[in-house]
Amino acid sequence: MAGISRGAPNDVRLVSGPAPEGASGLCSASHRIAAMPADTAFDRAVADSNTGGLVWPAEGWSRVPFELFTSPEIHEREDERLFRGPNWNYLGLEVEVPEPGDYTTCHVGATPVVLVRDEGGALRAFVNRCAHRGAEVVRRPRGNARGFTCIYHNWSYDRAGRVVGVPWEKGRGGAGGYDAAFDKAQHRMRPLRVASWAGVVFGTFSGEAPPLEDYLGPAICARLSAVFARPVTVTGYQRHTIRANWKLLYENSRDFYHAPQLHKFFGAFGIVQPDQAARAEMWHEGTHCLLTIYQNPGARKQRTKLEEPRVAAFRTALPENIAISIVGIFPNCLFTLIGSAFSIRQFRPKAPDRFEVVYTYFTYADDPDCLREHLFQNNQFGPAGYVAMEDAEVVEKLQARIALGGDKGAGLVAMDGTDTTPDRIDHMVSEANLRAMWKGYARFMDFAPPETGGSGAGGERSPQ
């Protein structure tokens, strides 16, 4: 039985400080997995395995164990190894924080984070947790501030998250206070390393993360540079909670196979047809994916008319005759670039069966026509979008049925080569990019590969 068994510029800029203290070792394979009920696969295996104690199904990368979507232990392990490990996580756009004191908030996995521009113009990021008692410090989602003050005991911080004020530090009326050894300069909200590419800002907790340019890879760097070569403006935000595991939607975003089958809207309005020229390029052990679908000059005319035709009017704002580009940057974001509808989806896992998606919508600031088209075409996306709501519903239904199975069994992703995991495919009739993703995911989670082994490598180097 398949299952888990135990056994803006075109250059990167480092824009804030050295690696945080204690960053090394965040991704240690020594993570202890809590005991599980005896009927689970985890409990049936050898506790001291040097591969994280998990072995992928012997059938190979074409099997995706359902336990990945339901296990609390795997959920916790992902937060440690993926979100707080040696990966770069999307934090925001530079255009969201253009002036000193501008800030925006987000989550890296389960951890709340603040991105802020300091008085010198540098970008800073730190954990939104008071160094005193752990309370939330920055309570608004975005804004401008000279500094930040915790409401609990009024400890105050500068724009880099350093403590600059402690009430009654020296006592009051000659009584109490901290002793002479207390030095507020030694206390701060935990910083992240921050770097940006083409105006897109990323952060990491780990000193072991590679340079951002190497992490993103040449294809994604080139695509981001092309998309952000013109000035952009943020047009709004949305967020919603999906009752499913976050990986189901991350996988869905790179699934060529599902688009013409599930999203009839695309076919009805000639946006996506299965015979269009398409390409998927994988990187970072296969976990990143740059998906590109090119315009089809011979696309059939719209079969359906809308009362507001501009919702489906399709004039792409992308370069190189690209109709659709989905940029998946593991582990926490998707750039969805379709026609003139541009958005970024940031994932915040909350539980094995629940995650939040935060949408950031943006378009070109120098093109009024693009802005108008963007506003109408965005009806396809977001929580109530004609297309996006179908993805949300289908992954929720997947999650519900997987949970009914008591974590037994596995999904099948065997189209186009059964167990191959290439770094590029050039057509839409394939699930090979899904297999590449799961192969890389297993490596970063330190799960043992299938005993039969998989063929090919996903990304820039083989995980063998």
Q: What is the CATH number of the domain that holds 160?
A: 2.102.10.10
- Does residue 389 share a domain with residue 319? yes
pLDDT, tens only, 70-105: 999 999 999 999 999 999 999 999 999 999 999 999
Find the domain containing 308 and state its range.
215-425
Residue-level pLDDT at 295: 76
Q: CB under 8 Å to 290, separation ≥6 — which residues?
A: 219, 220, 223, 280, 281, 282, 283, 325, 326, 327, 328
Signed CA dihedral, 437, 58, 354, 401: sign only: positive
Coarse DSSP helix, strand, coil percentages of the chain, rounded to the nearest 5 percent: 25, 30, 50
Please indicate, yes or no, whether residues 159 and 236 belong to a single structural domain of this protein: no
279 and 132 within one domain: no
On whether both 323 and 396 belong to a single domain, the answer is: yes
Residue 262 pLDDT: 61
Residues 149 and 236 in one domain: no
Identify the pLDDT of residue 25. 33
Residue ending a domain, among 160, 195, 230, is 195
Q: Is residue 447 part of a domain?
A: no
Is residue 349 in some structural domain?
Answer: yes
Residue 220 and residue 188 share a domain? no
Residue 128 lies in a domain: yes
Dihedral over Cα of 403, 408, 414, 415: its sign: negative
349 and 288 belong to one structural domain: yes
| 40 phi/psi in degrees, rounded to 5 | -95, 160
One domain, residues 173 and 306:
no
Cα(267)–Cα(282) distance, integer angstroms: 26
Kindly state whether residue 147 falls inside one of the protein's structural domains: yes
| Beta strand extents in 317-417 (DSSP E only) | 322-329, 333-338, 341-351, 354-364, 410-412
Tell me the sheet residues that pair with 116: 103, 124
Number of separate domains in the chain? 2
For residues 188 and 219, state if they share a domain: no
pLDDT at residue 440 in the model: 96
Contact in structure between 272 and 323 (CB atoms under 8 Å): yes
DSSP 260: H
pLDDT digits (tens, 9 = 90+) for 17-30: 444 443 333 333 33
Q: Does 287 share its domain with 344?
A: yes
Q: What is the pLDDT of residue 105?
A: 98
Q: Which of 134, 163, 195 is the last residue of a domain?
A: 195
Residues of the chain whose pLDDT is less than 70?
A: 1-54, 258-274, 297-304, 306, 308-315, 374, 376-380, 384-386, 406-407, 452-464
Both 115 and 154 in one domain: the answer is yes
Catalogue the E-assigned strands of 251-353: 278-283, 288-294, 322-329, 333-338, 341-351
With respect to residue 394, please indicate whether it lies within any of the assigned structural domains. Answer: yes
Last residue of a domain, one of 167, 195, 223: 195
Q: Is residue 32 part of a domain?
A: no
Burial (CB < 10 A; 0-12, 13-18, 19+), residue 257, is middle
Q: Is residue 461 part of a domain?
A: no
Whether residue 206 is contained in a domain is answered as no
- Give, in order, the Cα–Cα distances in Å from 168 to each of 175, 215, 365: 10, 46, 49
Answer yes or no: do 185 and 234 share one domain: no
Q: Give the CATH number, domain containing residue 304.
A: 3.90.380.10
